[in-house]
Amino acid sequence: MPYQVIIPAAGQGKRMGAGKNKLLLTLEGVPVLIHTLKVFEADPECAGIILPIHPDDEAEFKRLLKEYGIHKVSSLVIGGKERQDSVYNGLKALGSFEGVVLVHDAARPFIKAETIHALVEAASNEGGAIVAVPVKDTIKKAVNSQVIETVERSSLWAVQTPQAFRVSILLKAHNKAVSEQFIGTDESSLVERLPHQVAIIEGDYDNIKLTTPEDLYFAEAILRKRKDAGMK
């Protein structure tokens, strides 16, 4: 089923501390941004990519798209202060498209096409769906470093991207968030407030977000594993 994807790439990568957008760091010689874009470029179901970017990165990103032959980026839009603002700017660039739209962090280069396809199908049927994995750690709630309770783990999910919605639903959720000045850390939190149901598709633990420097070691290990398995 065809879909469009918004790939927010307009952050500054402060926690990575690389002195530049972390998406420009390379893994096996290829920028993180390109690793992520290649998954969608190669997916026949992906009908278009909208890329919210920081104005400072525009020239370099355009150069990389050309160098690596990424042709599906239909619009480069200027991102906003928060990730949510960047996604909203991307949504406004969708025009009259009425199908399923995905939002996927540019900083998650290990997403698999099979997960994307399961997600798109669920979102098409139910209106909204997100990729998540079961929480492995024991999670406790605390105030001032004093434990208040142990949260029952079997109902907990660690949420990733992509997150997929019918366009009309995601647009409605964003408009509501803007008018109520609500900032969420993912799209689902905006859709939940409509309210509208959101289904979970179980993904895998490799779909990490590159956030802090040690994530680069995990990323190298995942790439090595895939190479050994003949995947990438």
Binding residues for ligand CTP, rule: CB under 6 A, are 8-15, 52, 79-83, 86, 105-107, 209, 211
CB of 78 to Mg ion, least distance (A): 16
Mark 6-45 with x for binding to Mg ion (rule: CB under 5 A) and - for no binding: -----x----------------------------------
CA angle 211, 118, 230 (to 5 degrees): 65
Q: Which does 43 bind (CB under 5 to 8 A by kind): ligand CTP, Mg ion, none?
A: none
CB of 53 to ligand CTP, least distance (A): 8
Q: Which does 175 bind (CB under 5 to 8 A by kind): Mg ion, ligand CTP, none?
A: none
Q: Which is nearer to ligand CTP, 72 or 127 (CB)?
A: 72
Q: Which is nearer to ligand CTP, 43 or 186 (CB)?
A: 186
Q: Which does 52 bind (CB under 5 to 8 A by kind): Mg ion, ligand CTP, none?
A: ligand CTP
Q: Can you give the binding site for Mg ion, defined by CB under 5 A?
A: 11
